Chains A and B, each alone.
Chain A
Amino acid sequence: MDHLSMNRRMALGAIAGAFGMTLIPALARAADLAADPTASELGFQPTTTVFTAAQRAFVAAYSERIVPTTDTPGAIAAGVPAYIEMMLGDWFTGNERADFIKGIDAVEAHAKTSRKKSFAKLKAAIQDEVITEVMNGKVPGAGTEFFYASRQLVVSGYYSSEIGMTVERVYLPVPGRYDGDYKYEGRVFTG
C-alpha cells in the first residue's frame, strides 16, 4: 500500500507544484494528512472477531470465486475477506450479522452433504457449481437473497479496495479536467 500512497502524495504534490506551493499551501497538508496512519482501526480493520476459523476460510474461498484472480488480482489479494468480517462486525446490526452467518453455515453444510468436503477444500469448478446452486435458490437455508447479499459485499469490497480501484480499474484521483467525449479504451475510470 505504501507505494500507492506515495503515488497519490506525489500526484497531489505535483499539482501543488504546478500552481506554486504558496498558492495552495493547504494541499501539502492534505497530502500529509492522508498519508498519516489512522488513529483508529475502526472502519479499516475488523475490531472484533465474527467468524470461526472455518467460516473465515469459507468466506475467503467464496469471495475468490465471486471475483476471481484473472489478468488482475482477485478478491483475496484485494483483502475482501477481512473487509467482509469488518463490515459484519463493525458496520451491520446484530440481526443482519446473524442472518449472514446462518447463510454461510447453510452453504457450508450443503457443500459437506452434497460434495462431502468443506467448501474451501473443493476444486474451483465444484465451488462454482455450489455457488450456482445458491444463486438459483437450491440450497436450504441460503436462498437467493443470501446470494445477492453476499455477492454485493464481495463486489463492493473488491471495487472499493486499493487493488480494485487502482489495478482493476483506472484510478483518477485528480483528473484535472473534464472531457465528455472521451474514447473508451477497455477500462473503467474510478476516483
Chain B
Amino acid sequence: MQDASYEFDAIVIGSGVSGGWAAKELTEKGMKVLMLDRGYMVEHGDYPGEGKGAWELPFRGQTQKAKVESDHFKARFGGAEGSDKAHYFNNDRLNPYAYDEGKDFRWVRPAIVGGKSILWGRVSLRWNATDFEANKKDGNGNDWPIRYDDIAPWYDYVESYAGIAGNKDGLDELPDGQFQPPHPMNVAERWVQDQFKSNVPGRHFIHNRVANMTEDKPEQGRSRCQSRSQCARGCSFGAYFSTQAVTLPAARATGNLTLIPDSVVTSLEYDEAKKRVTGVRVIDANTKEAKTYRSRIVFLCASTLASVQILLNSRAEGRSDSFANQSGTLGRYVMDHIFRVSISGEVPGFNDMIEYGRRPGGIYIPRFRNLRDDQKNEVDFVRGYGYQGGAGRGPKWPEGFGADMKEQMREYGAWRMGMMAFGECLPYRDNTLTLSPTKVDRFGVPLAVFNVTFHDNEYKMMADAKQEGIRMLTAAGLKNVKAEQREHVPGDAIHEMGGARMGHSPQESVVNKWSQAHDAPNLFITDGAQMASTSCVNPSITFMALTARAADYAVKQVKANII
C-alpha cells in the first residue's frame, strides 16, 4: 500500500504503551512504519540494573542525593531515587517545564525508547459501562462518543496478547477480561478476604489484575513472572508487558518497522487547504539536526502531555493557534487520578508463615460509590475510587544495637495490610496545559505550562476514601489501623489524561470516536491525551485497546482511500 509520494505509510510518534501498540498493529497490517522516540535506545535484555543485588548497584541502589536534587527533582516521584533505574528517567534540569506559583505539577517522564511501558505499575483494569456514561449523566465534561461495547472486543484483543493475570470476579463495576490465572493471595490476604465476606457487606476484596504473566507465552519468547519484583529495572524474561518485550519484537518481525530513537518531535506540519498533517518535524537529540519526515497517516502517542504540547506547537502557516484547536478545547480538561490516600493495619496471627518470592500484584477493592442511582444520597461527590494494595511482612526493626538486635532482625514483624486509593478526577475546562509565550527548551520548543488543580469533588472524594478505608479495615478485624492523606500534587499518580479529548463533534473536542483528529483526518491521537474522563482505574490497558482499535480503523480508511 506504499504511496510513492511518502517515505512511510505511517509515522508513530512515541514508543510507550500506546506507540508500541500502534507500531505493532500498523506494521502487521502491512504498513511501512517509522517510529520516532525522543528517548535513547534500550534493547530488550539490555537492562543495567537487572538481577543485581543491592551491593552490585551504585550507592546500594540509592541515587546520589545531589543528583536527584539537580536532575531528577520531578522524576523522583516516579522512581528515579533508585540507582537501579534512575538511568531510565528524564533529566528535569535539561528538559524543564513551567507552572505558576502555587500550582505545582509533577510531570514524571522517561528518557528511553519504550517510555513508561518499562516503568509502569502494570495494573490492568477495564473501564466499566458507567464510566463511559458518567460525563453525560452528571454533566461534567462532554459525552463520550463510545460506550463499553465499542471497546470490549479491543480489551479482549490486547489482554490476550499482552498477558494479564487476574481473577474473573463477575462484577459489573470491574468487568472481567481475558485473563491468565491470578497471582495468588497470601495467607493474610485470604483471611482479610474472608473477613470482608462476613463483615464488610457490599465491598469486594479481590485479586489485583496485572500485566505480569502467570503462564509462559513461548510464541512470543516470554516466560511467566519469576517473582523477583524488580520489574522497573527491565525484565529479560519478558514477564510483564513492555514495548521492548511485546510490541516492538512483533513490529520488527514484520520487516515493516523503522525505529529512530533520539528523535525529538517538535511539531506537526499541516496543510490547511488539504486539512492534512503533511509532515513530522524532528530534531536529533544529539546532533540538533532538524528534519521533516513524511507519511500518509500519523499516530501521535508521545504520552498525554507531550502529545498535547506537540499539538499546541503545530500551526498552519500564518496562524497563531494550533491547527488542532478549532474547538478551543486543546490543552484543556487535563486530569490525573487522586492518589496519596493510604490506609494500613495489622493482620492478627499467621506468625509462623512468611512469603517466599516477591509478587508483582496484590489485591484490589473496586469502586463502590455512585454506581447506581439509588446511591445518590450516600455521598456529596460524584464518581468514585478504588483501592489497591496487599499484605506482607517485613523483618523486625528492633531498637538498640549489638548481637541481640542482629538476632531479632532475623525475625519478621507482624503481617501488615496496606492499600492506597485511586480516584476519578473530573474534567475541568480551566485545568490547562499551554505553551510558554517567552521560554523555549534546548530544542526551541516553547515550555509546557501547567495550570492544573484539584477541586472540591476531588478533595471530598479523598476524605471519603480515607474514612471508608479505615472503616473497612477496622470492620474486617485488622488492628492498629492507620490512615494517611499526604499532599497531592497533580501529576503525582502518573495517570495524566486529557488535553485533546474525544467527543462527538469538532465544536467540542479534538478527536472523534476513532481517536481521529477532527481537523486532520490522517492524524490519530491514541494515548492518554484523548481521554474525556478518567474512570478510577489505572489507564494503560484502555490506551492499548483504543490504540489497537484506532489502528484497525485507520488501515481500513487508508485501504478504502478515504484518508
Contacts and interface: CB of A to CB of B under 8 A. Distances in A.
Interface residues of B, number: 64
Contacts of B185: 180
A67 interface: yes
Given A23-B221, A42-B58, 10 more contacts: A90-B59, A157-B60, A174-B228, A175-B358, A178-B355, A178-B359, A180-B184, A182-B353, A188-B410, A188-B411
B412 interface: yes
Contacts of B411: 188
B187 A181 contact: yes
B423 to A, nearest CB: 28
Interface string B60-82: 11101110000000000000000
B410 to A, nearest CB: 6
A171 interface: yes
Classify chain A's interface size.
35 or more
Interface string B203-222: 00000000000001010010
Interface in B30-73: 43-48, 50-62, 64-66
A24 B234 CA distance: 14
B412 A161 contact: no
A168 B55 CA distance: 14
A173 B53 contact: yes
B355 A180 contact: yes
Given A27-B236, A83-B60, A182-B355, A162 B226 contact: no
Residue of A26, A83, A90, A131 ringed by the most chain B CB atoms within 10 A:
A26
A31 interface: yes
B402 A188 contact: no
Given A15-B226, A26-B236, A67-B406, A165 B54 contact: yes
B400 interface: yes
A66 B402 contact: yes
A34 B65 contact: no
A30 B221 contact: no
Interface string B381-414: 0000000000000010000111101110111100
B244 to A, nearest CB: 9
Residue of B60, B188, B358 ringed by the most chain A CB atoms within 10 A:
B60
A114 interface: no
B56 to A, nearest CB: 6
Interface of B: 43-48, 50-62, 64-66, 83, 183-189, 216, 218, 221, 223, 225-230, 236-238, 351-359, 395, 400-403, 405-407, 409-412
Given A68-B403, A175-B228, A29 B356 contact: no
Contacts of B188: 180
A68 to B, nearest CB: 5
B125 to A, nearest CB: 21
10 contacts: A30-B236, A31-B51, A43-B57, A83-B60, A91-B59, A135-B401, A166-B53, A174-B228, A176-B357, A178-B359
B519 to A, nearest CB: 43
B402 A68 contact: yes
Residue of B44, B188, B356 ringed by the most chain A CB atoms within 10 A:
B356
Interface string A77-90: 00000010011001
B357 to A, nearest CB: 3
Contacts of B55: 160-162, 165
Contacts of B184: 178, 180
Given A15-B226, A179-B355, A182-B353, A23 B218 contact: yes
A139 interface: no
A174 B239 CA distance: 13
A26 B355 contact: no
A85 to B, nearest CB: 13
A87 B54 CA distance: 14
A134 to B, nearest CB: 10
A91 B62 contact: yes
Given A34-B52, A176-B227, A70 B407 contact: yes
Contact of B237 (A24, A40, A92, A131): A24
A65 B402 contact: yes
Given A173-B51, A184-B352, A65 B401 contact: yes
A181 B227 contact: no
Nearest to A40: B58
A24 B217 CA distance: 12
A56 interface: no
Given A131-B401, A188-B412, A171 B227 contact: no
A34 B237 contact: no
A178 B62 contact: no
